[in-house]
Amino acid sequence: MKEVSLKIFHRIHPAKEVLERFKLDIAYSCVFGNSEKENIIHLFSHCEHSNLFWTDMKDYIIRKIGTNIQIKVFDVMLYSTFNGLSIKQNYKIQLLVILGKFHIHKSKRTSLKPSFHRLIVELKQYCTSIEYVKNSKAAKTFCILKEMNFV
């Protein structure tokens, strides 16, 4: 998951626009079904399907945390802290944003449109699989996800 963030950060995620320089014989339109050109910012943020995904995530966070936040392009493409929130709340949101980026990356690979509902279902399955893993990082992730009612 961290790898996806790094790839986006370094703008080397294999969005079609990046592949275009190799002059491959493929369509360069967005994999999620738009006619727009698929570049990294479109894929992870501006695409209507990704945009809807982030809006659903934002609404979910607002419901869970009770504080109004905005998820902007900057937050998705880079890494940010949200003002006025505790370290723990920031950690939760940052974890969700990373999981969201990974979800969009995976959706592209499987040619499915991003769906926040599907992410929640996948997270519940993930939580079940890491519940008994004896690893402090996995345990920390598990605790956060449990607090957010994914388990």
- Among 13, 32, 92, 116, which residue sits at the site for Zn ion (rule: CB under 5 A)? 32
What is the nearest approach in angstroms of Zn ion to the Cβ of residue 31?
7
In the complex, minimum distance from the CB of residue 28 to Zn ion, in angstroms, rounded to a whole number: 12
Question: Which of 5, 82, 83 is closest to 44 using CA atoms?
Answer: 5
Range in contact with Zn ion (rule: CB under 5 A) among 47-55, 71-79, 101-109, 128-136: 47-55
Closest distance of CB 10 from Zn ion, Å:
22
Reduced to 3 states (helix: H, G, I; strand: E, B; else coil), residue 88 is helix
Residue with smaller CB distance to Zn ion, 28 or 126:
28
For Zn ion, the closer of residues 92 and 101 by Cβ is 101
Instruction: Name the one range near Zn ion by CB under 5 A: 32-40, 83-91, 107-115, 132-140.
Output: 32-40
Q: Are 132 and 105 in contact (CB under 8 A)?
A: no
Pairwise CA distance, residues 117 & 5, whole Å: 21
How many separate helices (H) and strands (E) can be counted in the chain? 8, 0
Tell me which DSSP letter residue 43 carries.
I
Residue 47 near Zn ion by CB under 5 A: yes
Nearer to Zn ion, 104 or 119 (CB): 104
By CB under 5 A, the count of residues binding Zn ion is 4
∠ CA 78-80-63, nearest 5°, is 115
DSSP 86: -
Q: What residues line the site for Zn ion (CB under 5 A)? A: 30, 32, 34, 47
